[in-house]
Amino acid sequence: MPTLPDFRLETYFARWEFSARYHLTASDAQTLPMSELLALADDDGRERWESLTLGYTETRGLPALREAIAATYSVAQPDDILCFAGAEEAIYLAMRTLLEPTDHAVVLTPNYQSAETIPLSVCDVTGVPLRADDGWALDVDAIAAALRPNTRLVSVNFPNNPTGALPAPEDWARLVRLCDERGIILFSDEVYRGLEANPLPQATDLSATAISLNVMSKAYGLPGLRVGWIACRDRTVLDRLERAKHYTTICNAGPSEILALIAVRARDRILERNRGIVARNLPLFAEFFGRYPELFEFTAPDGGCVCYPRYLGADGVESMCTALVEQAGVLLLPASMYASELTATPTDRFRVGVGRSGPEEALAAWAAWLDKR
């Protein structure tokens, strides 16, 4: 296996995530204390938690959890669900298992780095950028033009990280049809689904071969559980992924699966809470950026809890982000964290997280730093 490059974003976080005073670029919604999550449990969930023993669990995931997850789809069934230790394990194993060196893949940019570096370690990959000058629009025609006879997989992420973009429903439907017509797997990263006003249909509900990826970390705000899943109605794909999982985590942690079960069953309440946090935060960010029109261009995300404003300052976004975290303790992710080997990507952007409660103090520290410059 070729050596993967350093994961720039995670390396940056290793340096700053837990040492910076203000984490203003978080990609997850505000988490819940254990006491609040357990208070959401139904009788069955409470009994499972209190009687839990710490043995091995099923590789595919706790049956009750897979049943609860399947209920969040309109077509997928419990046997169409395979659980993983977070979304990253699922991405890694899917790309390493489903792609061969003779294959070709298409990946949207900008993206979460592993979406392109893992397939690049296996086969030829073509990048197709979202159209930054058109609200990060999905360009289905460009994807169609990038396809080859040996294209095996098209990888997308909506709501998008880092831009917060959602495609028009008609473009989403076109992309699903295109992949089906060409016999291509659509790998759809949907980890922010539930934090938008008008969610797109999930890929696996639209196509018998598409793969939908989700996780407890982002929209649910429960990254510490390390529980993710793939939904796919092609059972042969899930069989292959299960066998690949035997070489990594084998199975998920039992306590995490019970807590994830409680959360998925309480999905409507948790997502309503987290959408409310985003809705309260967005005017605060809009007001902040509006105070500095000479420095920032800000557009609220279509969905999810991250967005990608533009920095207009003469010092450049990399310098601004470095000085801000070193001098004021406010952490942002500069554009270099989203640089792509596949396409040109904007160099004047930075990622902001809008899903955590109480950003006022961080914004005040940022404003004070700007005002002193």
Q: Do 164 and 92 have their domain in common? A: yes
Same domain for 73 and 135, yes or no, is yes
Q: Where are the beta strands (DSSP E) in the chain?
A: 22-23, 81-84, 104-109, 124-129, 151-157, 185-189, 211-215, 228-231, 296-297, 306-307, 310-311, 330-331, 333-334, 350-353
Count of structural domains, the chain = 2
What are the pLDDT digits (tens) for 187-217? Answer: 999 999 999 999 999 999 999 999 999 999 9
Does one domain contain both 57 and 135?
yes
Domain presence at residue 3: no
Averaged over 96-109, what is the pLDDT? 98
Same domain? 221 vs 289 = no
Residue 287 amino acid letter: E
- B/e letters for 196-233, b = 16+ CB within 10 Å, e = fewer, are beeebbbbbbbbebbbbbbbbbbbbbbbebbbbbbbbb
Tens digits of per-residue pLDDT, 8-52?
999 999 999 999 999 999 999 999 999 999 999 999 999 999 999
Where does the pLDDT of residue 373 fall: very low under 50, low under 70, confident under 90, or very high at 90 and above? confident
- Residue 2, pLDDT score: 63
What does the block give as tokens for 220?
């649910």
12 and 149 co-located in one domain:
no
Last residue of a domain, one of 266, 288, 316: 266
% residues pLDDT > 70 (the chain): 99
Q: Are the CB atoms for 116 and 161 separated by under 8 Å? A: no
pLDDT of residue 298 exceeding 80, the answer is yes
Query: Is the bond preceding residue 159 a cis peptide, omega within 30 degrees?
Result: yes
Alpha helices in 138-266 (DSSP H): 140-146, 169-182, 203-206, 235-245, 254-265
**Residues 250 and 317 occupy one common structural domain:** no
**207, 237, 266: which is the final residue of a domain?**
266
Mean per-residue pLDDT, 274-303: 98
Where a domain ends, among 266, 292, 323? 266
**Residue 2 covered by a domain:** no
Q: Are residues 71 and 143 in the same domain?
A: yes
The pLDDT score that the predictor gives to residue 3 is 82
Residue 241: domain span: 34-266
Q: C-alpha 1: how far from its chain's center? A: 25
In a domain, 158, yes or no: yes
CB 65, CB 82: distance < 8 Å: no
Average pLDDT, integer, range 114-140: 97
- 82 lies in the same domain as 185: yes
Question: What CATH number does the domain containing 160 carry?
Answer: 3.40.640.10
Q: Is residue 93 part of a domain?
A: yes
* Mean per-residue pLDDT over the chain, rounded: 97
Are 333 and 353 contained in the same domain?
Answer: yes
- Same domain? For 360 and 239 the reply is no
161 shares a domain with 301: no
Could you tell me if 78 and 174 lie in one domain? yes
Task: Indicate whether 228 belongs to any domain.
Answer: yes
CB 182 within 8 A of CB 211: no
The CATH number of the domain holding residue 363 is 3.90.1150.10
Q: Which among 109, 138, 137 is positioned nearest to 125, based on CA atoms?
A: 109
Write down the pTM of the prediction.
Answer: 0.96
Query: pLDDT tens across 223-272, in order?
Result: 999 999 999 999 999 999 999 999 999 999 999 999 999 999 999 999 99
pLDDT digits (tens, 9 = 90+) for 299-356: 999 999 999 999 999 999 999 999 999 999 999 999 999 999 999 999 999 999 999 9
Does 298 reside within a domain?
A: yes
